A and B are shown apart, each in its own frame.
Chain A
Amino acid sequence: MGLSHDEVAKVALLARLRLDPAELEMFTGQLNSIVEFVTQLQELDTKDVEPLAHGVEVRNVFRDDVRGPALSNEAALSNAPKRNAESFLVPAVLE
């Protein structure tokens, strides 16, 4: 299978990446080679194989629901690209 420019543009939108026309061209070619390369995985019959999500399988880990130390507001805001005294500022979400 091949990925068209339109499909790559759609993936870029899903991934929240703006691509300029030259990048779209370059990534379409490269993603097609990579997808073609990974398609060799299809040669394997995995019908009765359980997926493995972690190399070392761990079960759910529980802890007591107690409050630990937390970041202060100021520390949490300290890396904000745009902020006021108490909040992160973003472009308006609602018109």
Chain B
Amino acid sequence: MDLTRASACEWLTQLNSGKVTSEELVGGYLKRAEALQRLNTFVHLDHDAVLAQARSIDAKRKVGEPVGPLAGLPVAVKDVLCVEGVPTTCGSRMLKNFRPPYDATVIARLKAAGAVLFGMTNMDEFAMGSSTENSSYGPTRNPWDETRIPGGSSGGAAVAIAADLAPLSLGSDTGGSIRQPASLCGVVGLKPTYGRVSRYGLIAYASSLDQVGPFAHSLADAALVLQHIAGRDPRDATSVDRPVPDYAATLDTPPESLRIGLVREHRGEGLDPEVASALDEAVRVYEKAGATIKEVSLPHSKYGVPAYYVVASAECSSNLARYDGTIYGHRAEDFSAKYPIEEDLPPLIRMMMASRAEGFGAEVKRRIMLGTFALSAGYADQYYNHALKVRRLIRNDFDTAFKEVDVLLGPTSPTPAFKLGERTADPLAMYLSDIYTITANLAGIPGLSIPGGLTRGGLPIGLQFLAPAFAEETLLRTARVFERATDWHTRRPTLAG
């Protein structure tokens, strides 16, 4: 069984025809995960639980009982999605012992479809970061070069695919946390439109920006997952009641209209020359396919990162207020007054302060404080409310661009994967890794990253496609034109193990 060759769609065919059992399939992946533990991809992988799910599907298939559309396929899950009874820890010491009493809606849907939940993957703590270095479990390594970061915050979910430790995985994207690691690991990563997929049970970072989406090797595999996780959920009032198209069925039909926009501001300073030439090459592929290529402008692009850090931090300071050591999560043993400022505080407040100080890492503290500041009396208008207005300007830029083109094409990340430790001392340098992805979250539109090349040094380069809200079908079909014409998505890292 060659796990580095087959796709999820092919595995499904083989499972349905009885050529392979789910137990054999997950057994192969478990063995591989064992051999490649040094990548630090999984934070929790219970072999017995995985095998039990697979055997139960196999037993149903054997007697001809109806099984779901993903029956027997392993799916790795970012440690941010609640799975009932399974440690779901958000890469944080704060939630080290947390076992959710319920399933996230996307997890319930995967279970109903017969998928085998294949472990929880490493991530930046509470999804805050671009390198998976902000994890209390230590960083995940990029399989293409183990001295480099895999991107983040869904680094483990991206590596699970890149290193063939699972054929499918789920991540979450608040400012690029699916697309940027997909790009840096050479896999497909899709952030759906805000509201396309339920956020119920997705541990909240910034609620107006967070969205769940799939990682896979191919667009067909990503479309398969999206199909089964998308749609209205009465438990998430922001999930939108619109029909879910059959993404897989239309994938191979090239779009009737192929007007592609190149964003002037995404070719600026800081763009690695090898990434720029991969983009030029992609443009040639589209020209050959008969596309109309047009330069467009998103004039407020440069305000994306600062607007994001105000909005996301403000939302996180509110969302993470729940981790106070009372109902669940870490509680400090010793919360006696330690510094003069604490002496007059009631014990309950000291307990909260000490628990949060011990439970959260530096990046989470930084964002909570930035958000608390941006929302505090006297500053809210200047920072938070102003950033929301800039957010409108950013959305208007996209609305204008999409009057002229169907899809925007550009680089996902300005550079290939950087070295472990390279940007940890400078939060601002880290924030700028998301410069091309972040505005899609502010505008609510879908974004997709697909493998678009390799550097001379053998590091993956990702291409990003952006489309109007709910145009996932256009996004996938347009990207498919490139995927069909190239073989970048079939490349694999050389992994000793």
Q: Which residues of A contact B (CB under 8 A)?
A: 3, 8-9, 11-21, 23, 26-27, 30-31, 33-35, 37-42, 44, 46, 49-56, 58, 61, 63, 71, 75-76, 78-82, 88, 90-93
Contact = CB atoms under 8 A, between A and B. Distances in A.
Contacts of A9: 341
A13 to B, nearest CB: 7
6 contacts: A11-B373, A34-B370, A40-B303, A52-B388, A52-B389, A56-B238
Interface of B: 97-99, 101-102, 193-195, 208-209, 234, 237-238, 240, 300, 302-303, 306-307, 309-310, 317, 321, 324-331, 335, 338-339, 341-342, 346-354, 356-357, 360, 362, 365-366, 368-370, 372-373, 376, 382-383, 385-393, 395, 427-428, 441-445, 469
- The prevalent SS among residues of B at the interface is helix
Closest 6 CB pairs of A and B: A55-B444, A51-B388, A79-B328, A81-B331, A46-B389, A91-B347
B234 A17 contact: no
B369 A8 contact: yes
Given A38-B310, A52-B388, A17 B383 contact: no
B428 A52 contact: no
Contact of A18 (B234, B328, B339): B339
Nearest to A82: B331
A31 B326 contact: no
Given A34-B427, A49-B389, 13 more contacts: A15-B368, A16-B324, A20-B339, A38-B307, A42-B382, A52-B391, A52-B395, A53-B388, A55-B194, A55-B208, A55-B209, A56-B444, A81-B330
Given A18-B342, A49-B389, A38 B383 contact: yes
A15 B372 contact: yes
Which of B360, B372, B382, B469 counts the most chain A CB atoms within 10 A?
B372
A58 B444 contact: no
B369 A15 contact: yes
Nearest to A16: B352
Contacts of A41: 303, 306-307, 310, 383, 386-387, 390
Nearest to A33: B428
